[in-house]
Structure 1
Amino acid sequence: MARNKDRHTWREGYTTGSCAAGAAKTACLLLQGDSLPEHVEIPLPNKARLTMPIHSGKLRNSEATACILKDGGDDADITDGLEIRALVRRLSSQGDVHIRGGQGVGTVTKKGLAQAVGESAINPVPRAMIRDAVREVFPQDELEITIEVPEGETAALHTLNPRLGIVGGISILGTSGIVRPMSEEAFKTSILPELDQALAYGHKTIVLTPGHYGFRVATERFKIPTEAVIQMSNFVGFLLEEAAYRGIEGVILLGHIGKLIKVAGGIFHTHNRVADARTEVLLAHAALAGMKTDTLKYLAEFPTTEGATIELLNLGQQTLLHQLAHLASKRAQAFTFDRLKVGTIMTLLNGQPIGWDTTAEEIMKDQGWTWSVDP
């Protein structure tokens, strides 16, 4: 995204759901006998209308295909520029609209998502948009509509779909039909299906981790079920609030000390452009623990929290790291007004736990997960 632009002038785009609806309507127009137009107009869920350029289309015997290129506007993501195709067949003069996914559209294999297991990953709003769009051409006919994304399987590897158990392609998504440039909000919202999935699998206790390294430590070292581990990125406070709202009872914060030490300092958005007080938090608590000024100055010279933490371990100061983990838990629990029981496990980059509190240990053992903190 062009971040040097005024956010009020960022260009809007359209969702994969809008593309699918527009392509389906275009294919219907070809079946009706119209020539291929340059643009197609579809209704949106809020009753407004959206016009999109058509990339291609053709009529072949009793079926028609049309394609629209996904345009994310100034909020482009991995789906930007993908071909979204619709293949439409008219089955009879009266009946339902049957929608399914074809090549490059994922299939749901885990419960807890918007579509049932075994269904194509075309969410309810896009399905309704497709129906509404094609009904403007064929109000009563029975239609078979197949949505395809030729490069979808490759693109999906760079999305959350593999984690969510959506295999074989991308999801056809969108609630408004319009992509508005709010990357952070969009990303935060995209994490929420993982919380819903955890609940669907019966997990009232979950693990929140900043990213892939923490996910690997949780699932490989501690043997925590994958559906109970959510990658929260920098959005600690947002995920804590959403977990409490959904009735989650227990949370373990698990991740690199460079991220989670910020929570010990009361920071709940951990991107370094929002707050980067890692060294300050570490030194403040090292000073409170009675460490000498010369040692504090020495620790302050380390360019990374990792390096300073390893030096603390060499100095026999692991108790300080346990105290920081305990403080992170207290701050996180207070952030949700004690609606969650929170424990914390801090690690090095190699996944070795180096600071944890008794709450984390209790939660792990209560859940029957493997408590593995030895080197």
Structure 2
Amino acid sequence: MSEAGGGRDAQLKHTGLRPGWTTGACATAATTAAYTALLGGDFPDPVTITLPKGQTPAFALAAEELTDGYAMAGVVKDAGDDPDVTHGALVRVTVRLLPAGSGVVFRAGPGVGTVTRPGLPLDVGEPAINPVPRQMMRDHVARVAARHRVTAADVEITISVDHGEETARSTWNPRLGILGGLSILGTTGIVVPYSCSAWIDSIRRGVDVARAAGRTHVAGCTGSTSEKTVVSLYGLPEDALLDMGDFAGAVLKYVRRHPVERLTICGGFAKLSKLAAGHLDLHSARSQVDKGFLAELARAGGADEALSQEVATANTGLAALQMCAARGVPLGDLVAAAARDQALGVLRGAPVTVDVVCIDRAGSVVGRSAPVGPGVVPPPRPSPKP
């Protein structure tokens, strides 16, 4: 697959990381090549498409087939330097001619999922081909039709992804009710390395699905252990669990615009101490445990000066927690309450009640806040001792 015009946006503005292409861009390229062959007899290789922001990448074909009535073209997805589970996937598109007036019809082939739950930007029963990739494909088949003097593109576009059903098990799709394979995604056509945009988009779709299912209580969890903890505490169903990872801010900002009655945030003590200190991205490369902040909380919770100094110089957040627990200072609860208050600040008065649960690596609860939200008066917070 060749580079985009302009060096793929100048190698992502000189970061040194190589951008890649979304499944939607790959499907558009394959669609363009297949429809061109269907009308003209030859596959363009490489095939050039225009992305929503004007870039014009060219894609080499990895597979092609032309018979009476249909054409198939395949493109291998190159995710650049992003750790994308679909990197290297072969996206195949089969284009068939339909009777005049049929328009453009999309189908899910093997390895592409089908929507089975409401709340997504597609109706139940539709193939999991998102709106922007659909529009890209409509636009490109219209251009191909015009070049061949065809009045209108009346075609069936069937998208398949080799091994897509197996790969989809490593994505959010099963939880979102997208069954049978992957989604065809992308709003710009470009994968930005380590932007985690796909993860954040999955968080948003998770909130949408939970709301559409009538869930009034959802939980943002940092991993599978925290998911098990909130299920044991609250009995929440799978579609009420949000795989938040490190993106606490993404959950809070989306719930602010799309409220649910109650939001529980659950995760490891160290990660949630970062939220308590005001960090919304909890990844270790972008935020650190502030042991000075933990020392202030410990002092507010009754720690003497000696213990506060020990907390401030502790090797890890967990060590600080254990020091406090041994001397009766509820640092876990204090962190949970501070994290809850930070979350409420991000929510900016949205009608959402929030509570926070801190756990250790085994999943045991080591800190828990009271729920606070509209009409719920927060318990008094201690002030640091002078």
TM-score by length of 2: 0.82
CA distance in 2, matches of 1:15, 1:76: 13
- Per the TM alignment, residue 286 of structure 1 is displaced from its structure 2 partner at its CA by 2.2
The correspondence of residues 279-294 of structure 1 with structure 2, limited to 5 A, is: 279-294=291-306
CA distance in 2, matches of 1:263, 1:109: 35
Moved more, 279-288 or 141-150: 279-288
CA distance in 1, matches of 2:14, 2:173: 29
- Per the TM alignment, residue 309 of structure 1 is displaced from its structure 2 partner at its CA by 2.9
- Per the TM alignment, residue 20 of structure 1 is displaced from its structure 2 partner at its CA by 1.1
- Per the TM alignment, residue 306 of structure 1 is displaced from its structure 2 partner at its CA by 3.3
Query: Is the 8 Å Cα contact of residues 30 and 58 (structure 1) preserved in structure 2?
Result: no
Query: Is the 8 Å Cα contact of residues 203 and 244 (structure 2) preserved in structure 1?
Result: yes
SS of the equivalent of 1:183 reads coil
Which string of whole-angstrom CA distances, capped at 9 and with x for unpartnered residues, describes residues 321-372 of structure 1? 3233222222221233333432212122222222212227999xxxxxxxxx
The correspondence of residues 103-142 of structure 1 with structure 2, limited to 5 A, is: 103-138=110-145, 139=150, 140-142=152-154
Query: Is the 8 Å Cα contact of residues 176 and 206 (structure 2) preserved in structure 1?
Result: yes
Match of 1:334 among 334, 340, 345: 345
CA distance in 1, matches of 2:365, 2:16: 46
Match of 1:324 among 332, 335, 339: 335
The correspondence of residues 236-275 of structure 1 with structure 2, limited to 5 A, is: 236-275=248-287
Moved more, 28-37 or 193-202: 28-37
Q: Corresponding residue for 2:184?
A: 172
CA distance in 1, matches of 2:12, 2:34: 37
CA distance in 1, matches of 2:196, 2:31: 31
- Is 1:156 matched with 2:168? yes
- Per the TM alignment, residue 149 of structure 1 is displaced from its structure 2 partner at its CA by 0.3
CA distance in 2, matches of 1:361, 1:92: 57
Query: Is the 8 Å Cα contact of residues 345 and 360 (structure 1) preserved in structure 2?
Result: no
SS of the equivalent of 1:135 reads helix
- Per the TM alignment, residue 83 of structure 1 is displaced from its structure 2 partner at its CA by 0.5
The correspondence of residues 74-93 of structure 1 with structure 2, limited to 5 A, is: 74-92=81-99
Which string of whole-angstrom CA distances, capped at 9 and with x for unpartnered residues, describes residues 242-292 of structure 1? 211223343222222111122222332222233212533333322333434
Moved more, 226-235 or 136-145: 136-145
Q: Corresponding residue for 1:52?
A: 59
Query: Is the 8 Å Cα contact of residues 107 and 118 (structure 1) preserved in structure 2?
Result: yes
Query: Is the 8 Å Cα contact of residues 121 and 130 (structure 2) preserved in structure 1?
Result: yes
Q: Corresponding residue for 2:200?
A: 188
Q: Corresponding residue for 2:382?
A: none
Query: Is the 8 Å Cα contact of residues 344 and 360 (structure 1) preserved in structure 2?
Result: no
- Per the TM alignment, residue 151 of structure 1 is displaced from its structure 2 partner at its CA by 1.7
- Per the TM alignment, residue 295 of structure 1 is displaced from its structure 2 partner at its CA by 4.4
Q: Corresponding residue for 1:370?
A: none
- Per the TM alignment, residue 6 of structure 1 is displaced from its structure 2 partner at its CA by 6.8
Q: Corresponding residue for 1:206?
A: 218
Query: Is the 8 Å Cα contact of residues 231 and 237 (structure 2) preserved in structure 1?
Result: yes
Pair 1:55–1:267, CA change in 2 (3 A):
same
- Per the TM alignment, residue 148 of structure 1 is displaced from its structure 2 partner at its CA by 0.6
Q: Percent identity?
A: 33
Query: Is the 8 Å Cα contact of residues 264 and 328 (structure 1) preserved in structure 2?
Result: yes
CA distance in 1, matches of 2:214, 2:365: 27
CA distance in 1, matches of 2:302, 2:156: 73
Partner letter of residue 343 of structure 2? A
SS of the equivalent of 2:32 reads helix
CA distance in 2, matches of 1:117, 1:190: 17
CA distance in 2, matches of 1:33, 1:335: 56
Query: Is the 8 Å Cα contact of residues 262 and 281 (structure 1) preserved in structure 2?
Result: no
TM-score by length of 1: 0.84
Partner letter of residue 66 of structure 2? L
Moved more, 278-287 or 224-233: 278-287
CA distance in 2, matches of 1:94, 1:269: 50
Pair 1:311–1:180, CA change in 2 (3 A):
closer
Unaligned runs of 5+ in 1: 364-375
C-alpha root-mean-square deviation of aligned residues, in Å? 2.9
Q: Corresponding residue for 2:104?
A: 97
Partner letter of residue 12 of structure 1? P
